[in-house]
Amino acid sequence: MDVMAPAKRILVLTGAGMSAESGIPTFRDALTGLWARYDPEELATEAAFRQHPARVFGWYAWRLALARQARPHAGYRALARLGDRYGGGLVVVTQNVDGLHRRAGSRSVVELHGSLEAFRCVDHGHRFPTEEVLRLRGGGAGELEPPRCGECGSLVRPGVVWFGEVLPEPALRRAWCEARDTDTALVVGTSSLVYPAAAIPGLAAAHGARVIEINPHRTPLSERVDLFWQAGAGDALPVLAARLCDAP
Ligand code: BV8
């Protein structure tokens, strides 16, 4: 923990494990029940959506409802507290699409992979109201026919970044800049398997940053970090926040 004491700037990179203690399954186990037989990388693609729109849209509508019901746990609140303590010196770069960092009060959040709250038409990007998606009712087996865009009649898709799609340029640019400028990278709840997000800790380290990982399990990043803290986000982050915020 003392490895973080001299931190002037902190880049926090989070993944699905950050939301596990808020009851949202991690990406690799998000395919529970109805979707258990699919590989997430198969469902989280435009091709899968165009081939099986009701299956893919049903999965995202289910995840949106789950995210809306979820409450940010103590680890989220600890990151918001650290954000208040470090002001502009702390940024949360998240791979998650559930919106929980902002709901917990973090003000500097970069959403690399979009948001479950954003829907748009698959062909022209016309925005579609989230509340209308929440009012839809599926035909069973978790499937849900996507609505049609009121402007052009195309299918409506979730506003997330699918595999094979480029990340939003402003978000990616901000993440690269923060990785180059930070002196501490805190990597929480990610399997460090999906790129380009997984390249962020290495970029920070290449520019002299210390890297700390919080995860109950080891990952491909674990042997390259300055400190591997084997713990859940909800346990470790409040302890870290108390140490850094209450220190004289
Ligand atoms: C792209 C939104 C250009 C959708 C997601 C090299 C460079 C660039 C691209 C690639 C590359 N190599 C391969 C690629 C292609 C691909 C990729 O990375 N594939 C992987 C599988 C190898 N990348 C892309 O396609 C990206 N696009 O680069 O565009 C391009 C285009 C074409 C070809 C080449 C390049 C787009 C990637 C974004 C995809 N969208 N999400 C949705 O949410 O449905 S990715 C999605 O999966 C998540 O957002 C997240 O990023 C990822 C899942 O990872 P995690 O968040 O880490 O979750 P996971 O379940 O895996 O792990 C949870 C962890 O939590 C575990 O370690 C667990 O131990 C831990 N944990 C559990 N409980 C707790 C905990 N930790 C703490 N506390 C707990 N309580």
pLDDT in tens, 32-79: 666 677 787 888 999 999 999 999 999 999 999 999 999 999 999 999
Identify the active-site residue in 52, 73, 101, 113.
113
Q: Helix %, strand %, coil % for the chain, to 5?
A: 45, 20, 40
Pocket lining: 19 vs ligand 1, CB cutoff 6 Å: no
Looking at beta carbons, which pairs linking 111-114 to residues 24 or more positions away fall under 8 Å?
111/171, 112/161, 112/167, 112/168, 112/171, 112/172, 112/175, 112/197, 113/160, 113/161, 113/167, 113/197, 114/158, 114/159, 114/160, 114/161, 114/168
Q: Which residue has the higher pLDDT, 28 or 34?
A: 28
Contact call for residues 43 and 35 (beta carbons, < 8 A): yes
For atom 79 of ligand 1, the residue with the nearest CA is: 232
At residue 111, the pLDDT reads 98
Cα–Cα distances in Å, from 86 out to 81, 82, 198, 237?
9, 6, 24, 15
For atom 73 of ligand 1, the residue with the nearest CA is: 17
Q: Give the whole-number percent of the chain exceeding pLDDT 70.
A: 95
Q: Give the whole-number percent of the chain exceeding pLDDT 90.
A: 85
Rounded to the nearest angstrom, the distance between the alpha carbon of 19 and the centre of ligand 1 is 15
At residue 227, the pLDDT reads 97
Q: Would you state the structure tokens that stand for residue 16, as one six-digit string?
A: 């699905």
Q: What pLDDT digit, counting tens, does each position of 200-242 carry?
A: 999 999 999 999 999 999 999 999 999 999 999 999 999 999 9
Q: What value does the mean pLDDT take over residues 118-130? A: 97
